[in-house]
């Protein structure tokens, strides 16, 4: 028997809070997507072609959703959040393009990466274009406070990327350094995305800070969980493969915890695989086994949950609403997802 | 006999209008240099190390000088131009870092390029940092008009770089395309640098447009002359070598003019050297001989002089002063310099 179309559609909705947020903010999100498509245009055809390759591949659109949700949380009735959400997504897309060049990645969002398909040169330059476009959008919006938040976030992200580069292949990287990196390269944009939503809604400094804190903690939880998933993911993770971080010699929390407890043999193993980048096919499985033996993955998730709790606490400053509950669910989902 | 110190110093001054401008704006330029050093700092040590390598190598500082000169031309008495001049130099430095990655260059300003010394990855990321820092500086200044001009210029520069990339090795590139490229990748920032000087001095729309036009024409003249110098330079050109454009297969005005008049043999030659990038040691000399035979270098300089004339005309909107005369001399120098 054929199901009615509306039910069919409903049954396809993802069962996670991102799906609920997307439903609730559907009209806003469509306005943002339209703006993204419109403002990534250029008479230089390669620009929309390359940017479109990455943007059309989708992605979770989690950062622009945060800006929309934050504005809606405070019952903001205007449309300024659309431009700023597009701007946040442009900054994110620019950093992805540059990241993939820096990491020499071949895959992104389940497709060939832009640098693999078009070459490193245009990937760098189109990233620059999107970055500039983001600042044009902010300038059109006209709020110096928003400009301060997002130009600051951009500088911090770049610092975080450089910091991460310095730690790659350094098996002596400590937990504090790791947290400094992910706070800068990931959590800062989550924080800024949330904060500007509160700023356009003209909320008090306390409420803007609460949303910023929510975003920061969500970002930390999200990135730690992502770093765990690199060793455990069961489902396809938007084009990222299992073991990418290991192959690139990235010093993430599970590895840092395991190295802290490594015996002499394990120390040699990590040093060879991540320090000297000499890896054989069986090494990733052995890495997973060592991480499991030391409980390093579970411990990392405990740490992610600690940030998730802080994120939920931060929302305590905001009046209860269905939207607030979706945002609370989102931090839990960020940690407990299996992709 | 030992000369008195003041005379000795005077005798070392360059005999070009950049020297005269630098002298006249010495105090401003020192304030800008101090700001540049201060604001390129970061707790992430690699950032000031890499940025400092390029910035400390000097360069002509022509773009920040234009902002300072433009503000001074209108007798502006404040200090806002210092921050904006630093910001213009940061945007320029960021594009140089990314340019050198894109072109895979080994030399810049007579030293190893940052990418050659530190690797492509940090060169891309430190470029992003400087770019973000530029927007932070603009936001601190607080003028939305300045933000509009410089974020627009940044987007146009990125478009120009992508456009240039598309034309590299394409021997069918026409003069209109070439001019579109250099207007975007070079002249736009000269124009913006001049315009913001007039904007901080709160001049009329006509005067701001005149300064913008001066900068645009200066930039066009400067870049065409630069492209000619790639085939003719007698003195060291701040670390650029003779023949770089030829080696990279760049389609510059002299080559475009020569190809337009090439016989069958010459067409084959250009196609092999610039289209297919198959070059032998003797090819650059042959290229120079062909350019000379068709008068392509002289013709290109005539075109540069046409822009120079338009630049001087644009200054007609501004009251006569020693500074205005230095700016007039500067466009002439941009074309007639031999380095």
What's the distance, Cα to Cα, between the start and end of chain B in Å?
A: 32
- CA-CA distance, B166 to B172, in Å (whole number)? 11
Mean pLDDT lowest for which of B38-47, B109-118, B248-257, B297-306?
Answer: B109-118
For residue A339, how many other CB atoms are within 10 A of its CB? Answer: 11
Note whether A154 contacts B162, CB cutoff 8 Å: no
Q: What pLDDT was estimated at residue A235?
A: 63
Mean pLDDT calculated for residue range B83-89: 98
- CA-CA distance, B253 to B227, in Å (whole number)? 7
Q: What pLDDT was estimated at residue B106?
A: 79
Note whether A47 contacts B155, CB cutoff 8 Å: no
B-chain CB neighbours of A102 within 8 Å are 120-121, 124-125
Contact (Cβ atoms closer than 8 angstroms) between residue B118 and residue B50:
yes
The DSSP call for residue A274 is: I
A-chain CB neighbours of B166 within 8 Å are 44, 46
Kindly identify which residue of chain B lies nearest to residue A136, measuring between CA atoms. Answer: B151
pLDDT digit string, tens, across residues B260-296: 999 999 999 999 999 999 999 899 999 999 999 999 9
Q: What pLDDT was estimated at residue A68?
A: 98
pLDDT band at B3 (very low <50, low <70, confident <90, very high): very low
- The two tokens of residue B263 are 């016989």
B-chain CB neighbours of A124 within 8 Å are 98, 101-102, 124
pLDDT digit string, tens, across residues A8-60: 333 333 358 888 999 999 999 999 999 999 999 999 999 999 999 988 877 78
Q: What pLDDT was estimated at residue A32?
A: 97
Kindly identify which residue of chain B lies nearest to residue A166, measuring between CA atoms. Answer: B46
pLDDT band at A117 (very low <50, low <70, confident <90, very high): confident
Beta strands in chain A (DSSP E): 107-108, 111-112
Kindly identify which residue of chain B lies nearest to residue A133, measuring between CA atoms. Answer: B155
pLDDT digit string, tens, across residues B129-158: 999 999 999 999 999 999 999 999 999 999
- The two tokens of residue B302 are 């005539």
Q: Is 90 exceeded by the pLDDT of residue B338?
A: no
- CA-CA distance, B306 to B313, in Å (whole number)? 11
Residue found under tokens 């939920």: A312
Distance, in angstroms, between B104 CA and closest chain A CA? 9
| Dihedral sign for Cα atoms in the order A223, A228, A231, A235 | negative
Q: Is 50 exceeded by the pLDDT of residue B239?
A: yes
Mean pLDDT calculated for residue range B297-322: 96
Q: What pLDDT was estimated at residue B194?
A: 98
CA distances from A295 to A183, A194, A249, B198 (A): 24, 33, 20, 63
pLDDT digit string, tens, across residues B183-232: 999 999 999 999 999 999 999 999 999 999 999 999 999 999 999 999 99
Note whether A147 contacts B158, CB cutoff 8 Å: no
- CA-CA distance, B73 to B323, in Å (whole number)? 6
A-chain CB neighbours of B133 within 8 Å are 155
B-chain CB neighbours of A177 within 8 Å are none
- The two tokens of residue A277 are 């980048």
Q: Is 80 exceeded by the pLDDT of residue A108?
A: no
Q: Which of A322, A177, A174 is nearest to A260 (CA)?
A: A174
Q: What pLDDT was estimated at residue A5?
A: 39
Q: Which residue has the higher pLDDT, B60 or A256?
A: A256
CA distances from A4 to A1, A85, A89, B168 (A): 10, 34, 35, 56
Q: Is 70 exceeded by the pLDDT of residue A239?
A: no
Looking at mean pLDDT, say which of A196-200, A240-244, B101-105 comes out highest: A196-200
- CA-CA distance, A315 to A299, in Å (whole number)? 25
Contact (Cβ atoms closer than 8 angstroms) between residue A311 and residue A221:
yes
Note whether A46 contacts B122, CB cutoff 8 Å: no
Q: Which of A202, A188, A197, A177 is nearest to A67 (CA)?
A: A197
Q: What pLDDT was estimated at residue B235?
A: 63
Note whether B159 contacts A101, CB cutoff 8 Å: no
pLDDT band at B2 (very low <50, low <70, confident <90, very high): very low
Q: Which of A91, A95, A93, A89 is nearest to A68 (CA)?
A: A89
| Dihedral sign for Cα atoms in the order B170, B171, B174, B180 | positive
Nearest by CB to A46, from B124, B125, B162: name it.
B162
Which 3 state secondary structure label does DSSP give B108?
strand
Q: What pLDDT was estimated at residue B7?
A: 40
B-chain CB neighbours of A44 within 8 Å are 159, 162-163, 166
Q: What pLDDT was estimated at residue A80?
A: 98
For chain A, percent of residues with pLDDT exceeding 70: 94
Kindly identify which residue of chain B lies nearest to residue A143, measuring between CA atoms. Answer: B144
Q: Report the mean per-residue pLDDT for chain B.
A: 91
**Chain B residues with CB-CB distance to A under 8 A?**
42-44, 46-47, 94-95, 98, 101-102, 120-122, 124-129, 131-133, 135-136, 138-139, 142, 144, 147-148, 151-152, 154-155, 157-159, 161-163, 165-166
Q: Is 80 exceeded by the pLDDT of residue B58?
A: no
- A90, A128, A167: which to substitute to probe chain B, counting the most B Cβ within 10 Å? A128
- Hey, what domains does chain B have and what are their CATH numbers? 18-336 (1.10.600.10)
- CA-CA distance, A301 to A297, in Å (whole number)? 6
pLDDT band at A2 (very low <50, low <70, confident <90, very high): very low
Residue found under tokens 């700016």: B327
Question: Which residues, in sequence order, are bridge partners of residue A107?
Answer: A112
Q: What pLDDT was estimated at residue A112?
A: 83
For the whole model, what pTM was predicted?
0.92
Kindly identify which residue of chain A lies nearest to residue B157, measuring between CA atoms. Answer: A129
B-chain CB neighbours of A46 within 8 Å are 162, 165-166
DSSP code string of A160-215: HHHHHHHHTT-TT--HHHHHHHHIIIIIHHHHHHHHHHHHHTT--HHHHHHHHHHH
CA distances from A325 to A19, A20, A111, A309 (A): 13, 10, 33, 13
B-chain CB neighbours of A250 within 8 Å are none
Q: What's the complex ipTM?
A: 0.92
- CA-CA distance, A306 to A313, in Å (whole number)? 11
Kindly identify which residue of chain A lies nearest to residue B134, measuring between CA atoms. Answer: A151
Kindly identify which residue of chain A lies nearest to residue B100, measuring between CA atoms. Answer: A121
Residue found under tokens 């799906």: A19
A-chain CB neighbours of B163 within 8 Å are 44
The secondary structure element, H or E, covering residue A97 is: helix A80-103
CA distances from B141 to A143, A250, B195, B240 (A): 13, 39, 15, 35
Note whether B136 contacts A125, CB cutoff 8 Å: no
CA dihedral (B89, B90, B92, B94) in degrees, to 10, reads: 160
Q: Which of B141, B111, B123, B143 is nearest to B39 (CA)?
A: B141
Note whether A139 contacts B151, CB cutoff 8 Å: yes
Q: Which residue has the higher pLDDT, B56 or B149?
A: B149
Residue count of chain B, please give it: 339
Q: Is 90 exceeded by the pLDDT of residue B110?
A: no
What's the distance, Cα to Cα, between the start and end of chain A in Å?
A: 33
């Amino acid at each position: 028997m054929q199901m009615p179309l509306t039910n069919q559609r409903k049954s396809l909705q993802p069962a996670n809070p991102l799906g609920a947020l997307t439903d609730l903010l559907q009209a806003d999100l469509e306005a943002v997507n339209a703006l993204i498509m419109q403002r990534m245009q250029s008479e230089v055809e390669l620009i929309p072609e390359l940017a479109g390759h990455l943007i059309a591949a989708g992605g979770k659109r989690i950062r622009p959703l945060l800006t929309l949700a934050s504005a809606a949380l405070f019952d903001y009735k205007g449309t300024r959040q659309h431009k700023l959400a597009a701007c946040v997504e442009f900054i994110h897309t620019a950093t992805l393009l540059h990241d993939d060049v820096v990491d020499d990645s071949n895959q992104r969002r389940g497709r060939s990466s832009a640098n693999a398909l078009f070459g490193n040169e245009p990937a760098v330059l189109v990233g620059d274009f999107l970055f500039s476009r983001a600042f044009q959008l902010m300038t059109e919006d006209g709020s110096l406070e928003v400009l301060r938040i997002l130009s600051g976030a951009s500088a911090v992200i770049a610092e975080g990327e450089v910091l991460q580069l310095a730690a790659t292949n350094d098996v002596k990287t400590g937990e504090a350094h790791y947290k400094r990196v992910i706070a800068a390269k990931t959590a800062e944009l989550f924080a800024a995305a949330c904060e500007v939503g509160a700023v356009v809604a003209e909320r008090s400094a306390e409420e803007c800070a609460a949303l910023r804190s929510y975003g920061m903690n969500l970002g930390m939880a999200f990135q730690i969980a992502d770093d765990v998933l690199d060793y455990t993911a069961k489902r396809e993770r938007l084009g990222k493969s299992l073991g990418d971080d290991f192959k690139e010699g990235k010093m993430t929390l599970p590895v840092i915890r395991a190295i802290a407890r490594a015996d002499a043999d394990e120390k040699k193993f990590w040093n060879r695989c991540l320090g000297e980048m000499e890896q054989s096919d069986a090494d990733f499985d052995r890495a997973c086994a060592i991480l499991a033996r030391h409980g390093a993955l579970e411990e990392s998730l405990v740490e992610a949950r600690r940030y998730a709790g802080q994120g939920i606490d931060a929302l305590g400053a905001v009046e209860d609403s269905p939207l607030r509950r979706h945002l609370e669910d989102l931090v839990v989902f960020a940690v407990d997802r299996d992709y």
